[in-house]
Structure 1
Amino acid sequence: MNKIKTYEELLNKVSYCKNKIELREHPEKFNRGQIEERHILICGGPGCRASKGDKIAESFNEEITRLNLNDKVKVIITGCFGFCAKGPVIEIMPDKVFYIEVKEEDVRDIIENHILEGRVVERLLYEDKESKERIRVKEEIPFYKKQVKIALKNCGLIDPENMEEALAVGAYTALGKVLTSMSKEEVINEIKESGLRGRGGGGFPTGRKWEAAKRAEGEIKYVICNADEGDPGAFMDRAILEGDPNCVLEAMAICGYAIGANKGYIYIRAEYPLAVQRLKIAIDQARKLGLLGENILNSGFNFDIEIKYGAGAFVCGEATALIHSIEGLRGEPTMKPPRTSEKGLWQRPTCVNNVETFANISQIINNGAKWYNKIGAEKSTGTKVFALAGNINNVGLVEVPMGIPLKDIIYEIGGGVIDDKKLKAIQTGGPSGGCIPIDYLDLPIEYDTLTDIGSMMGSGGMIVMDEDNCMVDIAKFYLEFSVDESCGKCTPCRIGNKRILEIINDITNGRAKKEDLKKLESLCEVVKDSSLCGLGESAPNPVLSTLKFFKDEYEDHVVNKKCSAGVCKSLVKYEVTDSCIGCTKCLRACPVLCIKGELREKHIIDIDKCIRCGLCFEACPVKAIIKTSLGGEN
């Protein structure tokens, strides 16, 4: 493509490209009598790739070539569709038929029946849990019904490595609008009026952050995109960068214009190779078109973007630590003030936003602040992307309006708890968040409502826990992560969190005394109040929230030496019941040879030698081995 020199040329190019994928955006305009071309959209998210999504794409292309259908059928690997639980998933356009759990052996069936004969392959459609009816259209599946796509709007729709497809859905039109018809103040006011808050965890108003960076004195300023997504189980930013990288590049340029910056950096984990690859492709294509670089759209505005790699340090998700890492220094936070908007990268005014925050910007500019703040809640406008994980049927990536009740996400979108087990808690906010008990299922998901009960929005991890989860063990898991990831700069985080972990280890190992619970809570409050950065301050949150809502489990561990979920190894033992058939499978599975018994005779476990690994429990074909607590049966 030739360099685009003006906003008018950009709009013409967008209009030209739009025709190429109109059958994907507006399938209702077509039917089999009007158009022969078919687009097979294959999810390119990490979940579907892990389930051989790439191989399925290859199989489709081979079959299409074999049948001479190259002019009529195109295979496009898109960004993430979000429905990880049912992957690999594909969508055929303009028919708007959505297939789930597709395998390589299904490819020929889809081509021969659906593509050539127009017969939908019913067995690959989603089956409604209650009505048992097969659902053809993606948007009618319960997982998608209550979702509203803004940040993920183009993920699953376009080829993220094809600039023409990005332009077809309006990429860089918001930048063109800003450069030709809006002042810096107008851009910032639009973002302020939208009510957009930072999606990286803290929820600081984005417009106010931009305004502070604009007002800061200095001829040289910077824009940074924080793509250092480190929460366990979180993959929202990764999905956006893999599925629609141009929306982030465009937003960074808009931010640069608004605050007076000519240079941007994307700080991304080297652990995300596909996201890095697609960012590189998008940046290169944008430069060649003149949408990044010097004199963009003949406006006199210069802006370029460089990628910087992180090595996977969780603390580098904190803005000042991230900035130090870009500068080539150790990734450690610094005391605030001054804020990064005043003194950031190389002591210059710097605006730092995360990927999802930037993914909202162009649509706010194109559709207006009033459109955006009508979505969501009064103090938490727009949508939020969550990585839904844990003991839930529909694991995946969801984008919902702010203010949606927690129960709607768990039961309507998430499809409820696996095996219909009893829901115990929902953990939000990753290591910095907290565990929410089922008493709060009607709670609207907003920044302030989550903070009020001791949790937080965080970057968007949402992990579902059932009756088989031990809440003390959950707190221990997150605290171990925070201790491992501490940069060690401040004493409360470096030493305080270790002392907290030691107490929890004593609790889970049956060594703790009742007074240790008071020490635990007191120490958590000290670390929370005195740590240097937000990550250290929030590290005790999983402990404090579980102490608040599940104190009975802590007391059970301490007083009765009992783990009701049977998770804490030191508080459980395995016993062989009289239903043992003497098959010796448990004996052969035991790594420490603590099981004795002859063939067809009842076996015995030597409790003193047992390491409580549970392999015998899993190996027993007749469930003759039971797990009991040191304080009584579970």
Structure 2
Amino acid sequence: MTVAAAINETSPEKVLSPVLSAFWDEPDSWTLEAYHRHDGYQGLRKALAMAPDDLIALVKDSGLRGRGGAGFPTGMKWQFIPQGDGKPHYLVVNADESEPGTCKDIPLLFASPHALIEGIVIACHAIRSNHAFVYLRGEVVPVLRRLHHAVAEAYSVGYLGSDILGSGFDLELTVHAGAGAYICGEETALLDSLEGRRGQPRLRPPFPAVAGLYACPTVVNNVESIASVPAIVNRGKEWFRSMGSEKSPGFTLYSLSGHVANPGQYEGPLGITLRQLLDISGGMRPGHRLKFWTPGGSSTPLLTDEHLDVPLDYEGVGAAGSMLGTKALQCFDETTCVVRAVTRWTEFYAHESCGKCTPCREGTYWMVQLLRDLEAGKGRMADLDKLLDIADNVNGKSFCALGDGAASPIFSSLKYFRDEYERHITEQGCPFDPALSTAWADLPHLEVNA
């Protein structure tokens, strides 16, 4: 489902606000010519006329928060870079989008790579950097090719290279393809990988702003964060703040997937609700209802149909007991076994653990063993408390957030669906498997596919 089509189908309120995705429907959206037709590089011209500190202040005042998960203020992150230290400064764009359910940065790069390139040049001017890197998920070869082509186009017309647009500012941009490791989405592991070492999280402090890439001051930003900057510079901070909520202003991309009628990217203001997005997109698949969903990918605590009206901004989702994360809205209907879903997620985290710290390396392994037994009907009631205990020993005790992400779906699923776990034990198998149980006999009101 395209954004333009969604707007045509919705009410006059026009819930969505396409900016980044405004011309994704055009067949040549990824070219420089198409980007120029939609005010491309106008923000860069304005930014180069500004002092770097004024540019940082503009982004800070706009309220733009990182779109990669944590929601840290982008301008504040830029401000942390020490000035006058005599060291080179670097900008590293994290395009290693590997979080299960997250699919916004890759479509953005595929449809409009110049939005990122323009944002990179503006950000580098602000932090006084002359070399930027894009660390791209290595599996997406078509995106890699388009990004390389867009970089070549930018060099050919003077948006990259020496003396950009006659400003005296020089910038080199390097595109680096990773090797498919989820852990390299963690910013310090990404930096180690970029330097040619095994991708493992670093001990902090020092933080990247002080000693990042090649032990020099470094800003690490998400693709969507940087790609949002040109529109802010071109249209102004007041325009940006006119969307979203007070503490979470602006527009963002929501990735709607799962058991929905029309999965896709929906760009709207922060603070929109899942109910609104489902109304716009056609709802759940016909004949089914929402059972549980993730607001920001599988590493965020899952929510239920009771949370349909939770504002999808950092404060609203946090108050509901989860995290907005990457805004990957995975929706599951009543046919889904929660235990099975959580087991598959935990298997992923156990496989992707770098093994550097004991809580994550050992904890994810043992959580998988318990979950597999529970799913197969071989568990005991005591295993539920044991599972929570192990998750507690992983959560907050790991070297990076991978351990926290592995523990989140376990905590939240047991909070909302403990009875389902218990049924796996008492019925000695998954109640959602017709070969093992007649679980649907007591739910005649539900319409379930055969």
TM-score (norm 2): 0.93
Query: Does the 8 A contact of 1:433 with 1:454 survive in 2?
Result: no
* Secondary structure of 2:332 counterpart: strand
Select which of 540, 559, 562 maps to 2:426: 559
Instruction: Determine the structure 2 residue equivalent to 1:429.
Output: 296
CA RMSD, aligned part only?
2.1
Provide the C-alpha distance between the structure 2 equivalents of 1:500 and 1:354, rounded to a whole number of angstroms: 30
Q: Once the two structures are superposed, what CA deviation does each residue of 1:259-293 show, in whole Å capped at 9, x if it has no partner? A: 11000011112211221111111111111111100
Report the 3-state secondary structure (helix = DSSP H, G, I; strand = E; otherwise coil) of the residue aligned with 2:228. helix
Cα distance, 1:469 vs structure 2: 0.6
Q: Larger Rg: 1 or 2?
A: 1
Aligned 1:620-631 pairs, distance under 5 A: 628=438
* CA shift digits 1:106-163 (9 cap, x unpaired): xxxxxxxxxxxxxxxxxxxxxxxxxxxxxxx763223995221122233224624532
What amino acid is aligned across from residue 474 of structure 1 in structure 2? A
In 2, Cα distance between the equivalents of 1:492 and 1:326?
Answer: 26
What is the letter of the counterpart of residue 458 of structure 1?
G
Aligned to 1:345: 213
Q: Give, in whole Å, the separation in 2 of the partners of 1:214 and 1:415.
A: 49
| Structure 1 residue 340, shift from structure 2 partner | 0.9
AA at the equivalent of 1:82: T
Picking from 432, 435, 439, the partner of 1:573 is: 435
Partner of 1:164: 33
Partner of 2:2: 82
Residue type of the partner of 2:220? V
Tell me, which stretches of 5 or more residues in structure 2 are unaligned? Answer: 444-450
Q: Determine whether 1:153 maps to 2:22.
A: yes
Q: Which residue of 2 aligns with 1:381?
A: 249
Which residues in structure 2 correspond to 1:267-346 (within 5 Å)? 267-346=135-214
SS in 1 for 2:18: coil
Q: Indicate the residue corresponding to 2:133 in structure 1.
A: 265
* Percent of pairs with identical residues: 36
**Structure 2 residue 374 is the aligned partner of structure 1 residue 507:** yes
Match of 1:434, SS state, is coil
- Aligned residue in 2 for 1:252: 120
Letter in 2 for 1:261: S
In the other structure, the counterpart of 1:174 is 43
Q: Distance in 1 between matches of 2:6 and 2:438?
A: 45
Q: Secondary structure at the match of 2:387?
A: helix
Matched, 1:186 2:106: no
Closer/same/farther in 2, CA of residues 296 and 237 from structure 1, 3 Å limit: same
Contact 1:158 1:165 in 2 (8 A): no
Residue type matched to 2:100 in 1?
P
Q: Does 1 or 2 have the higher relative contact order (CA < 8 Å, sep 6+)? A: 2
Aligned to 1:540: 407
- Map Cα deviations across residues 444-493 of structure 1 (whole Å, 9 max, x no partner): 11113223334322223211111101111111111111111111111111
Question: Is contact 1:342–1:348 with CA below 8 Å preserved after alignment?
Answer: yes
Q: Secondary structure at the match of 2:392?
A: helix
1:243 has 2:111 as partner: yes
- Pick closer, same or farther for the CA change 1:237–1:428 going to 2, 3 Å: same
Measured in 2, the distance between the counterparts of 1:499 and 1:216 equals 49
Deviates more, 1:395-404 or 1:454-463: 454-463
Q: What secondary structure, in the 3-state scheme, does the structure 2 residue paired with 1:540 have?
A: helix
Q: Which runs of 5+ in 1 are unaligned?
A: 1-80, 84-97, 99-136, 567-571, 575-626
CA distance in 2, matches of 1:143, 1:518: 47
Secondary structure of 1:473 counterpart: helix
Aligned match of 2:448: none
* Matches of 2:37 and 2:233, distance apart in 1: 17
Note the 1:373-522 alignment, pairs <5 A: 373-410=241-278, 412-522=279-389
Equivalent residue number for residue 365 of structure 1: 233
How far off is 1:164 after superposition?
2.4
In structure 2, the residue corresponding to 1:420 is in which secondary structure?
coil
Size of the alignment, in residue pairs? 442
TM-score, with structure 1 as normaliser: 0.67
CA distance 1:162–1:442, shift in 2 (3 Å)? closer
* Equivalent position of 1:195 in the other structure: 63
1-side partners of 2:161 and 2:11: how far apart?
Answer: 41
| Matched letter for residue 33 of structure 2 | E
Shift of 1:428: 2.6
